[in-house]
Amino acid sequence: MADSPNLVAVTAQNFHQVVIEGSYERPVLVDFWADWCAPCRALMPILAKLADEYRGRLLVAKLNTEEEQALAAQIGIRNLPTVLLFKDGRPVDQFMGALPETQVRAFLEPHLPRAADGLLERIEDRLLAGDLAGAQAALDLARAKDPDNPRLFLVEVQIKAAAGDSQGAEALLDQVPLDLAKDPEVLALRGQLRLANLVAGAPAEAELATRLAADPRDSEAAFLLAVHQAIKGDFAAALAGLLALLKRDRAYGEDAARKTMIMIFDLLGGQDPLVTSYRGKMLSALY
């Protein structure tokens, strides 16, 4: 099988450069094979075809385990064929055996860069800069290039939310595809929209801070200020303010401080150190 820019043979001498370093530029699929292995020979034409088809998006590297026994043993290869996928310098997925082409494609697709990935980065930059028109223009271009990209749905929600159209953003989230329903980014967007709804029409953060400085027992100001802090990502300050309100005035807003703390816990995810710390503090305040 002749080598090409997308299909290369690797040895112990070039494995680090081709596979480890190369995987920072694009995914590298490493096929561990041997001449005596019939399933290996069945898989090779499939990988060669995909290497050519995905040119620029994937490198297929083939390693002869008979010639590179020490390296194969070091990596832990015990069965042939074994195929490892490397990204950003480490193996992220694998399969064993001669899978049919459809299954190899299904294995690869979640890991391959999409045509709209660069545009998605541009959209994020435009949103951070407050350029909603630029973000929408980049989204339209991304849709034309990669209409099936599931991330475009999430970006549209972000644009609507940034434009203040929380109802439109929530309506989109209500139509979220089933395979994205539990995606952490979808859950985070839901949480951000719920927080934004809590301060819709409320005074600005600076005004609330002034009110609270003048009257530390102003529960409304304390609550709304904490929500503003959470929206801008200052979760430590938000949780500290909500915990103080919970201790002082639990009845405010029908237990709003506790409910909002739980909302932030969900937004951050159960393993975040802030969640671990403040969940315990919240329970102590309650009981």
Distance CA 183, CA 110 (A): 14
The conformation of residue 200, written as its DSSP 8-state character, comes to T
Alpha-carbon torsion (75, 77, 81, 82), positive or negative? negative
Options 10, 18, 29, 37, the catalytic residue? 37
Options 29, 40, 104, 243, the catalytic residue? 40
The conformation of residue 131, written as its DSSP 8-state character, comes to -
Q: Known catalytic residue: 69?
A: no
Residue recorded with tokens 């439109």: 168
Residue 84's beta-bridge partner residues? 30, 94
Distance CA 117, CA 151 (A): 9
Alpha-helical runs (H) found in 146-218: 151-162, 166-173, 184-198, 205-214
Q: What is the residue type of 207? A: E
Q: Known catalytic residue: 2?
A: no
The conformation of residue 59, written as its DSSP 8-state character, comes to E
Greatest Cα-to-Cα distance within the chain, rounded to the nearest angstrom: 82
Which of the residues are catalytic?
37, 40
